[in-house]
Amino acid sequence: MKFATRAIHKGQEPDKLTGAVTVPVYLTSTYQQDGLGKLRAGYEYSRTGNPSRASLEATIASLENGKYGLCYSSGSAATTAVLDLLRPGDEVLTTIDIYGGSYRLFKTVFAKYGIDFVFMATSSADEIAERISGRTRMLWIETPTNPLLNILDIEKLAGEKRDDILLVVDNTFASPYFQNPLDLGADIVVHSTTKYLGGHSDVIGGALATGNSELYESCKFYQNAAGATPSSLDCFMVQRGIKTLEVRMLKHQSNAFKIADFLKGHPRVETVFFPGLAEHPNHDIAQKQMRGQSGMVSFKLHGGRHDLDDVLGKMKIFILAESLGGVESLVCYPYTMTHAGIPEDEKQQIGITENLLRLSVGIEDVDDLLEDLEQALS
């Protein structure tokens, strides 16, 4: 099956009892057992397993070309499940240019358990590979990164690491439509399903996919033991969003290319960050490992905070808000929003400055979006 067909059908067979074409929302906490130790269809308690969740997990595994999928109550919960694979004394290599929530989780939660996180100011796979030590047990990367859209070479990192090191890729910005890290050698791929997979800014969720049965069993045990599971209604909503993932991503991409091209030619714009542009420093790697670009475009304005406030105040279609990946266009100010918890000196090292804006380009008519940006920048 091709991608769009799997997004609509994989794990979503018509209900055996009624023939319902859409997977039902199983709003139940517990299940009747047919005798001691005799579970009907393997279900006993909805924290442990729910048919709505199982259906979504099968869909996500298929879209990421993995054998196994697991869903969680948020992207941060999925990240936590993966980090639970580590032990005191382990070292994680990551980049400094990652989602602020991941940075916060690494630095303030897991670091106190004796896990060392090394934040590298690089998008070079070679530099990361050279830093691997005998204590390194995980490489955690985002590609594209948040918010500066750097690209890291997944295949090169997979080839350079030892077998006892896990390569984990947060694929939220690309979506499985444009990138499949497992095919490039990653051990685990993580998503905030809140974003492109759900696609409508109406649900919070997270997921992971893997082809490794041991990793799956460990993360599944954590899923049940810690209990950070999505509700069956949340699963239904994410799965409903996934059905239109291909058509949405194509529109996101088309709009983003036109907006990036507009911004790079505007006199008020200092720099545009978009891997689809030929001048992007990692453009060749993006071309190699991705099938296209999502709707994420970041840019820096000439001037300071006052100029930025002026632009934001004029926007009519772009909505100032957290998050990304919905059908509506959003504008985010990473300095005080998504990356507020990062210390000032590290923000400067990353390049998260007071004149940086991040756009999540939606699927509205692109002429309206361009007109909105034009008048806001005028």
Active-site residue, from 47, 107, 243, 258: 47
Active-site residue flag, 99: yes
Backbone φ and ψ of 320, nearest 5°: -75, 110
252 SS3 class = helix
CB distance 222 to 72 below 8 Å: no
Active-site residue, from 53, 195, 248, 358: 195
DSSP 30: B
CB distance 140 to 166 below 8 Å: no
Which residues, other chains included, contact 275 with Cβ-Cβ below 8 Å and sequence gap of 6+?
144, 149, 151, 282, 283, 286, 290, 293
Active-site residue flag, 177: no
Output the DSSP codes for 302-325: SS-HHHHHHHHHH-SSSEE-S---
Active-site residue flag, 45: no
Please give the angle made by the CA atoms of 64, 67 and 71, to the nearest 5 degrees.
Answer: 70
CB distance 209 to 81 below 8 Å: no
Q: How far is CA 340 from the centre of its chain?
A: 19
Backbone φ and ψ of 220, nearest 5°: -70, -40
Active-site residue flag, 26: no
In the sheet with 116-120, reading across from the earlier edge strand, the strands are 68-72, 206-210, 188-192, 166-170, 136-142, 91-95, 116-120
Active-site residue, from 99, 196, 216, 335: 99
Active-site residue, from 170, 187, 234, 372: 170
Residue 205 CB coordination number (10 Å): 27
Residues belonging to the active site: 47, 99, 170, 195
